[in-house]
Structure formats: C-alpha cells, structure tokens
C-alpha cells in the first residue's frame, strides 16, 4: 500500500511538473496500474480468435507479431509480454517510450492500449487507443500467445 502510494505520488508529481519533467533523463515514472477485477473477469472470458481479428484490423498495419518477425512502423511484438517498454533491439523508439518506465503486463498493456497518450505522453504510436474494454481483453488474450512462454492468466 505504501509502495502504491509512493508510485501514485511520483506519477502525480510527473503530471504536475509536465513538460519540464519530460526533459529530464531517466525513467519519468513507473506508474503501475492495478489489475482490476473487471479486467481479470474480461480476460477469463476473452476470445483469442476475436483478439486476432482486432490485431489484424487495428495493429497489423504497423506491427508484426511473428516470432523472428521484422520491425515495421512499430516494433515487432513477439515476447512483448514481460518485457520492458522500448526493449526491442531492432527498433528506434521515441524518447517518451524510453522514459516511460513501463514493463508490459496485462494491466500496463490495458492501460496503454486504452489511452496511449495518457500512458506514454509524447509516444510515437499513431493510435489514440481502443475504447472497448472487451476488445482490449480479447486483444491481450491474443497478444499473450505471441510469446516463447505465454504468461499465465491473472
Ligand atoms: C500507426 C502505426 C501503429 C499502430 C496502428 C499501432 N502501433 Fe503500436 N507502436 C507503434 C509505434 C511507432 C510504436 C513505438 C512508439 C514509441 O516509440 O513511442 C509502438 C509501440 C507499441 C508498443 C510498445 C512496444 C515496446 O516494445 O515497448 C506496444 C505494446 C504496441 N505498440 C501495441 C500495439 C497494439 C496492440 C496495437 C493495436 C491495437 C498497436 N500497437 C497499433 C505504431 C503503431
């Protein structure tokens, strides 16, 4: 609880400090959104097939999800679960993504994909976000399969 409070305080301070904080080097903040009961329930009901279709429609123009796939407009997303943000060696990320401090988990990915600018202010990904929580959960159920060792459902 204390730790969560400290993280929230840091995130809040970063928001208040605004662009000045963005100019600093090092991680801006590592806000770690909680895994809500709603997200957990949606993930357990999620459809991998529906998620694959969302990926095709909304992500595939910029992302390759294949193992040993190539970076295109966006980084390759194989093994994205569990990896730190901006950690694909073959892709040149924005400074904002480098500084975001996120590690990609169910909750951070959901947070990012719901509102990309809020989660990573100044990011280079040209997609505002997906409004539907169900759509995001289906997508996460699919993204977890793009992994050498798919993470367990929370
Ligand atoms: C218009 C192109 C575009 C679309 C569409 C797009 N992305 Fe991205 N994505 C990017 C770019 C560019 C980056 C790198 C952003 C940066 O460096 O700030 C990125 C970064 C990411 C990252 C962080 C990866 C890492 O290695 O840290 C994730 C996760 C991600 N995208 C998932 C998705 C998903 C899921 C979708 C579909 C809902 C999607 N993106 C749609 C271009 C796109």
Probe ligand 1: pick from 48, 127, 129, 140, max atoms within 8 Å of CB? 127
3-state DSSP assignment of residue 84? strand
Residue nearest to atom 17 of ligand 1 (CA): 93
Residue 25 pLDDT more than 80?
A: no
In angstroms, the CA 138 to CA 140 distance is 5
CA separation for the pair 36, 23 (Å, rounded): 32
Percent of the chain with pLDDT over 90: 78
Q: Is residue 23 scored above 50 in pLDDT?
A: no
CB atoms within 10 A of CB 26: 7
CB 116 within 8 A of CB 129: yes
- Output the residue whose Cα is nearest ligand 1's atom 23: 85
pLDDT score, position 32: 82
Q: CATH classification of 2-143, choosing from 3.40.190.10, 3.60.21.10, 1.10.510.10, 1.10.760.10?
A: 1.10.760.10
**pLDDT surpasses 70 at 20:** no
Euclidean distance between the first and the last CA atom of the chain, given in angstroms as a whole number: 20
Q: What does the pLDDT read at residue 103?
A: 95
Query: What is the Cα–Cα distance from 115 to 121, expressed in whole angstroms?
Result: 10
Q: pTM of the predicted model, to two decimals?
A: 0.85
Please give the distance, rounded to the nearest whole angstrom, from the Cα atom of residue 53 to the centre of ligand 1.
16
Ligand 1, atom 37, residue with closest C-alpha = 59
1-10, 50-59, 73-82, 127-136: which has the minimum mean pLDDT? 1-10
Q: Are 62 and 74 in contact (CB under 8 A)?
A: yes
CA dist 113 and 124 (Å) reads 13
With 0-12 / 13-18 / 19 or more C-beta atoms within 10 angstroms meaning exposed / middle / buried, residue 46 is buried
When pLDDT is cut at 50, 70 and 90, the band that residue 99 belongs to is very high
**Chain centroid to CA 30: how far?**
12
Which pLDDT band, with edges at 50, 70 and 90, does 31 fall under? confident
Across 3-23, average pLDDT: 46
pLDDT tier for residue 3 given thresholds of 50, 70 and 90: low
What residues are in contact with ligand 1 under a 6 Å CB criterion? 58-59, 61-63, 73-75, 80, 85-88, 93-94, 96-97, 104, 109, 113, 123-127, 130, 139
Mean pLDDT score, 47-73: 97
């Amino acid at each position: 609880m204390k730790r969560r409070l400290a993280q929230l305080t840091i995130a809040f301070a970063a928001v208040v400090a605004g662009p000045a904080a963005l100019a600093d080097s090092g991680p801006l903040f590592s806000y770690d959104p909680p895994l809500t009961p709603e997200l957990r329930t949606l993930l357990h009901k999620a459809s991998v097939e529906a998620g694959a279709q969302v990926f095709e429609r909304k992500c595939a123009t910029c992302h390759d999800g294949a193992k040993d796939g190539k970076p295109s407009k966006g980084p390759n997303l194989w093994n994205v679960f569990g990896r730190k943000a901006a950690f694909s060696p073959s892709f040149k990320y924005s400074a904002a993504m480098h500084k975001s401090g996120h590690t990609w988990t169910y909750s951070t990915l959901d947070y990012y994909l719901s509102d990309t600018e809020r989660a990573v202010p100044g990011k280079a990904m040209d997609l505002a976000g997906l409004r539907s929580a169900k759509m995001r959960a289906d997508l996460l159920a699919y993204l977890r399969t793009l992994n050498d060792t798919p993470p367990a459902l929370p």
